[in-house]
Amino acid sequence: MSERKVLNKYYPPDFDPSKLPRAKRSKNRQCTIRLMGSCNMRCETCGEYIYKGKKFNARKEDVMGETYLGIQTYRFYIKCTKCLREITFKVRFKKKPIPI
């Protein structure tokens, strides 16, 4: 049985890291993150209230062409806890985020 928490990995003597394929990144890529709601929201479809501090698995996307003082702006996609409708909001650094 192998060790469960391996700290070191075996690399053979003939291993060449330059031969590994590079991962390609798209410009408008999305990644899944764990997000906590920063303000109270209400679903427009079912009327369910989503309170501040609720945790979500969200998709994060870079908003192309929008920065504030050199900081990248992000758009998040979450789902309503009752009807599973997708809710989108964008981070604004001057004011609180508003659902779109």
Quick check: 25 pLDDT over 80?
Answer: no
What's the whole-number mean pLDDT along residues 13-37? Answer: 84
| pLDDT attached to residue 85 | 92
Residue 27 — pLDDT band, cuts 50, 70, 90?
Answer: low
Q: Model pTM?
A: 0.65
More confident residue, 79 or 69: 79
Q: What's the DSSP call for residue 19?
A: G
Domains of the chain, by residue range, sit at 28-99
Q: In what order do the strands lie in the sheet with 71-79?
A: 30-36, 55-68, 71-79, 86-90, 98-99
pLDDT of amino acid 1? 54
Read off the pLDDT band of 33 (50, 70, 90): very high
